[in-house]
Amino acid sequence: MTSVARSLPFPTEVIVGDKLSISIGPQHPGSGHFRIIVVLEGDIVSEAIPDPGYVHRGAEKMCEFRNFVQNVPMLERTTLPDANGIIFPYILAVEELMGIQAPPRAQYLRIISAELNRIVSHLYWLGIYGVFLGHSTMFLWPMGDRELFMDLIQTVGGTRVTPSYIIPGGARNDLPDNFKDKALKAFGYFERRLKEYDRIFFSNPLVLKRSQGVGVLKRSEAIALGITGPNLRGSGLKSDTRKDEPYSMYETLDFDIPSYPDGDCWARGMVRFHELYWSMQIIKQAVEKMPSGPFRSRLPLLTARAPAGEAVARTEAARGCMSYYVVSDGTSKPYRVRVSVPSFRNMIGIPYLLKGGHLADVPAIYWSLDYWPVEADK
């Protein structure tokens, strides 16, 4: 069966024996720009083959033709919902290569922007997840509340989704004066909203029926498959790069890592739901703790050269552990940039999770992983 599905350029519906192979995506609303070839026996999925690569834009190769600073906006576009989080490790690696140290204020500014992006990214996920569980209210509410945080990102970085705010040497600009008031007002409102989210969605009996016990990923399986981020924490492992290997100034902040032992769609959702709350707490503390001083060590020149060498950095992006490996040969352009994205590692779990489940559960399981195809394909 597998060979039949693999050999066709566009396998649509193929029947072999009592098995039916159907292609979900890349156009189907349930999968985004990604295809899953699902082999069905009746209503039960007997095999699922992910077919990524519809958005492969060659970001790694293109990094070699642009210099270190020009790469910031380009790499940012691999995951637009989480732009600041995704570019964070690249900046850390480039700083290590160039021997620049960002001033303490910049470190906090980076935390603020990365956590704002985490909230925005989780809200976007919640909207899409809600609508694919058949809960339209859960599309409209997060999308509406997300605009509040979009406004905050706009006050910090200037644009809605592509701020390119974190640059080698610090942050691009300082916080505006009204940021604190605006942020506290938004957080106060959103913390009240979280209770309503819980009431209408996460404790909703219908949603519980559709997500509890669906797509169970055991703790040992999650570790063996190399799942990362909220999906790993949803399987009961308290693993978060922010705590395990603190970078920037995360060690000075007091926050908790939510984790649920169940490993099902509901647990993965609850982890992200609690992360919304904790990200707000992190931003509140960072705004308080932020020392005054310069927000950038020096303006990076477009032609800034890095001495020959290599650097690795990893951080916790919204979808999991994100790392970059940058090699420089002494010119102003990197010799090689290796991007290791969390989405791709979470995709490895898709065949295991879908197998044995119902066809109707495919969207629920797929979206509970918060898979972002553009990020996985690079």
Q: Answer yes or no: are the C-beta atoms of 127 and 367 closer than 8 Å.
A: no
Q: How far is the CB of 19 from other proteins (least distance, A)?
A: 24
Nearest distance in Å: CB 55, other proteins: 5
CB-wise, 57 or 209, nearer to other proteins?
A: 57
- C-alpha 199: how far from chain center: 25
**Minimum Å distance from CB 65 to other proteins?**
7
Buried b (16+ CB within 10 A) or exposed e, 106-128: bbbbbbbbbbbbbbbbbbbbbbb
What residues pair up with 310 in beta bridges, in sequence order? 327
Detail the DSSP E strand segments found in 11-146.
14-16, 19-24, 35-41, 44-51
In the complex, which residues of this chain contact other proteins (CB under 8 A)? 10, 26-29, 32-33, 53-58, 61-62, 65, 73-74, 77-81, 124, 127-128, 139-140, 143-144, 146-147, 150, 160-162, 374
Q: What is the DSSP string of 337-373?
A: EEEE-HHHHHHTTHHHHHTTSBGGGHHHHHHHTT--H
- Shortest Cβ 352–other proteins spacing (Å): 25
Q: Which residue has the tokens 């650097």?
A: 311
- Residues 356, 44 contacting (CB under 8 angstroms): yes
Q: Rounded to 5 degrees, what angle do the CA atoms 198, 202, 205 make? A: 120
Quick one: 144 or 261, whose CB is closer to other proteins? 144
- The residue (of 83 and 227) whose beta carbon lies closer to other proteins is 83
Smallest distance from other proteins to CB 230, Å: 18
Q: Which C-beta is closer to other proteins: that of 50 or that of 263? A: 50
- Decide whether 74 or 312 has the Cβ nearer to other proteins: 74
In whole angstroms, the minimum distance from the beta carbon of 162 to other proteins comes to 7
Choice between 185 and 298, CB closer to other proteins: 185
State how beta strands 166-167 and 44-51 pair: unpaired
Query: What whole-number distance in Å separates Cα of residue 88 and Cα of residue 168?
Result: 10
Q: In the complex, what is the shortest distance from the CB of residue 127 to other proteins, in angstroms, rounded to a whole number?
A: 7
* Smaller CB separation from other proteins, 162 or 332: 162
| Min CB(131)–other proteins separation in Å | 9
Q: Closest CB to other proteins among 76 and 240?
A: 76
Give the β-pairing of 35-41 and 44-51: antiparallel
Task: Choose among 147, 144, 173: nearest CA to 161.
Answer: 147
Question: Which has the closest alpha carbon to 83: 121, 112, 51?
Answer: 121
Collapsing DSSP to helix, strand or coil, 254 comes out as coil
